[in-house]
Structure 1
């Protein structure tokens, strides 16, 4: 965080007016963003794009305190610009109308849908807009491709502040800047863990929490945790210690005792991993277990009551999800800075594991439904197993019988080659062959 961030936003308003944000998606996260940005000094929503239900965007804007007369339907980039110039918010079903509007400076994807995220990012980059990807499923599948294209276009591609991966990246960067060895980094899991969760069993809880049951199940069945920790891996170079990670029931005070090498009484086979815990006191925060490399530093950390050593836990006790995301949009515009980006080489993958027996001919549904759940893997292992990245699983057709618990791969499933995200991933896979051993390429 820049010390003068609030002052810089105020200066931006004085000199040029607030940063104009284009938002795609008006579900739970999109609604949060519309409300949050309305409360902030230095940013404003210029347009909201939704594909099927514009009324969702209208209701979100009204809940944020905007008047009905402030909302204008727009079907072209010119119409979006006119609305923004008049101090209004454009509502559109045309993605290119939003991305192509000259007044829009940065685009946030809040769809949570891998294929939609790919299309949104390409449109934003094509029109020279900075891109904030609040869509971790898309990022872990094709983020490196999108970052490379953004670099060529001279714009910023970034993950979203407030999501656990970006919050954990902050801790990892802090530890590394201090010269501490990162042993493990990860998150506390917020929801109960049930690998067999299906939407129909969580409808009542979803209603009580004002959530879509499918979205709730994506959290409960572990998929979201696998996806988020793979995003953290791809941004830091840390890797899952084993497929699916360990996920111990470690409390905040036990993290440094559990996430250490097996020979030292812990669960790890190596240092430098991503993982999660279902123990109390960690969620909704993130953690980083570190090891000092000098006895003087160990002495000081102990004296400061960070822990008893020889490993110590850095803990951020919260993440504010979409409420923090506008900060990433602002930093991209003001400073040309990304809060989180994938490295330029593959690190980890989220594959898909069958949640039930799947017969040939089955067309797979969306993440969080009944067909599959996420499973974190080291990239080279996933490549060797020909695992289907979870971002490509939707609309894939099962070609061979798949047993519950079996990994979906390119031999038992055929992905939908017409999807934008599949085409981008195919090109990325071809380029990534250079990272494989000669006998595996």
Structure 2
């Protein structure tokens, strides 16, 4: 008797569109996709269509399959194996795809693309943290209304950290702090007495005597920070990512400038202890960023994420410490960490989770728990244009700060709503940018921000 197959039909192919298709994040996703049986790019959107085609050909996609499209008719005429290359995100309304991966890094363009995708019944994997920091709460609410998924993308630190935090909560662990490392490590070479961070380097021989924490942790951290004070360690991107994490988890910054301790991985459980226990925190349940300090032959933290928890049973955690886990010297705290983020190489996990299971990162919708805002670095006169640029999307003349929403002024301006606007009035050095300071905020961003602000955790029960 012939056996009957019970495997059923193979799962369907998931088609994605990506905006910012010429960028670095997009490249890692496009390079990974051919390795996966169920995933394929359907639409590539970028202002540089020629560069997008060249990138895909370099990655091994057949040139004949990449078709430039400029009208809905061009999209309709595509065969099933062809990939649309477009420079106008408005065409996404007429394209054939299941999930949008938004990776432009542009607050306004990314918000428009995501709203269009959600409005036409597509899931959105949000890679652009700049978009998420202004519009994420409103976009997630719109997606819920339309029965689709809005989620940060695994492979970038926000989603990775949100998932790592959820894992600790599921295990019943008492979380004190969560966070990530800065993008680049501080590498100290004892042979030369120099500290290098990517292309920045300083002579800091005193670091040799600061490689251990000693008894006074805050004092050691202050000395390390002074030793590398000529290296720029903070970035707007870090604050932005922690703001996204705060909104999805409910954890908030301990201080608006974040602590940024210069710390070795094995020290994190001692560093992120409460001040009363010798650490740096004034309260429990916070988000933060640290600068990795390591020797040249030590493994990098690779922009990874961590959670510091209270240990509980001494015997259990003594056993875990013997196995190499990071436990504080007091035994009261432990650090659980994930030392990598693989960018678009991992993002297919979010694309498939959205398409197959309608699953987003985390277990709760985002709410405005924190605000990524900005303080004037110097006096900014009326008429100043707040330009945005650089790898970390800094806003010229403005220092990023992350505010607990409970302490933020009601009319504070989100940093990436303020970007690309003109000041309507003078702003003194050190002052927060307020909505009333902006002469020409982008309408869509202002609308989504106002929607987000009405979704207070106290009003929605999402604490």
Return closer, same or farther for 1:250/1:72 CA change in 2, 3 Å cut-off. Answer: same
Quick one: which of 31, 34, 37 aligns to 1:38?
Answer: 34
The residue correspondences of 1:7-406 to structure 2 (distance < 5 A) are 14-16=10-12, 18-25=13-20, 26-50=22-46, 52-83=47-78, 85-101=79-95, 103-191=96-184, 221-280=234-293, 281-295=300-314, 297-308=316-327, 309-340=331-362, 343-366=365-388, 367-384=393-410, 386-406=411-431
Return closer, same or farther for 1:323/1:405 CA change in 2, 3 Å cut-off. Answer: farther
The whole-number CA distance in structure 1 between the counterparts of 2:148 and 2:142 is 9
The whole-number CA distance in structure 2 between the counterparts of 1:55 and 1:368 is 28
Return closer, same or farther for 1:248/1:426 CA change in 2, 3 Å cut-off. Answer: same
Range with greater deviation from structure 2 (323-332 or 74-83): 74-83
Q: Which runs of 5+ in 1 are unaligned?
A: 1-9, 194-203, 207-218, 437-441
Following TM superposition, by how much is the alpha carbon of 1:178 offset from its aligned partner in structure 2, in angstroms?
1.2
The whole-number CA distance in structure 2 between the counterparts of 1:20 and 1:400 is 47
Please tell me whether the aligned partners of residues 160 and 340 of structure 1 are also in contact (alpha carbons under 8 angstroms). Answer: no
Confirm whether residue 423 of structure 1 aligns to residue 444 of structure 2: no
- Give the structure 2 partner of residue 198 of structure 1: none
Mark the structure with the bigger radius of gyration: 2
Please tell me whether the aligned partners of residues 31 and 57 of structure 1 are also in contact (alpha carbons under 8 angstroms). Answer: no
The whole-number CA distance in structure 2 between the counterparts of 1:420 and 1:306 is 47
Please tell me whether the aligned partners of residues 259 and 266 of structure 1 are also in contact (alpha carbons under 8 angstroms). Answer: yes
Paired residues in the alignment total: 398
The whole-number CA distance in structure 2 between the counterparts of 1:184 and 1:77 is 49
The whole-number CA distance in structure 2 between the counterparts of 1:124 and 1:303 is 50
| SS of equivalent to 1:182 | strand
Render the CA deviation track for 1:83-106: whole Å, top value 9, x for unaligned: 2x34111111232322432x3111
The whole-number CA distance in structure 2 between the counterparts of 1:81 and 1:163 is 33
Return closer, same or farther for 1:116/1:82 CA change in 2, 3 Å cut-off. Answer: same
| SS of equivalent to 1:383 | coil
Q: What's the TM-score once normalised by structure 2's chain length?
A: 0.79
The whole-number CA distance in structure 1 between the counterparts of 2:456 and 2:440 is 21
The whole-number CA distance in structure 2 between the counterparts of 1:399 and 1:251 is 45
Return closer, same or farther for 1:403/1:282 CA change in 2, 3 Å cut-off. Answer: farther
Return closer, same or farther for 1:276/1:121 CA change in 2, 3 Å cut-off. Answer: same
Range with greater deviation from structure 2 (26-35 or 255-264): 26-35
Q: Which runs of 5+ in 2 are unaligned?
A: 1-6, 187-197, 201-231, 294-299
Following TM superposition, by how much is the alpha carbon of 1:169 offset from its aligned partner in structure 2, in angstroms?
1.7
- Give the structure 2 partner of residue 197 of structure 1: none
Following TM superposition, by how much is the alpha carbon of 1:320 offset from its aligned partner in structure 2, in angstroms?
0.6
Considering only aligned residues, what root-mean-square deviation do their CA atoms show, in Å?
2.7
**Structure that is richer in helix per residue:** 1
Range with greater deviation from structure 2 (120-129 or 66-75): 66-75
Render the CA deviation track for 1:180-203: whole Å, top value 9, x for unaligned: 10111101112379xxxxxxxxxx
The whole-number CA distance in structure 2 between the counterparts of 1:326 and 1:82 is 27
The whole-number CA distance in structure 2 between the counterparts of 1:305 and 1:428 is 43
Render the CA deviation track for 1:326-369: whole Å, top value 9, x for unaligned: 22111111111112577453211110122443111112112425
The whole-number CA distance in structure 1 between the counterparts of 2:185 and 2:63 is 40
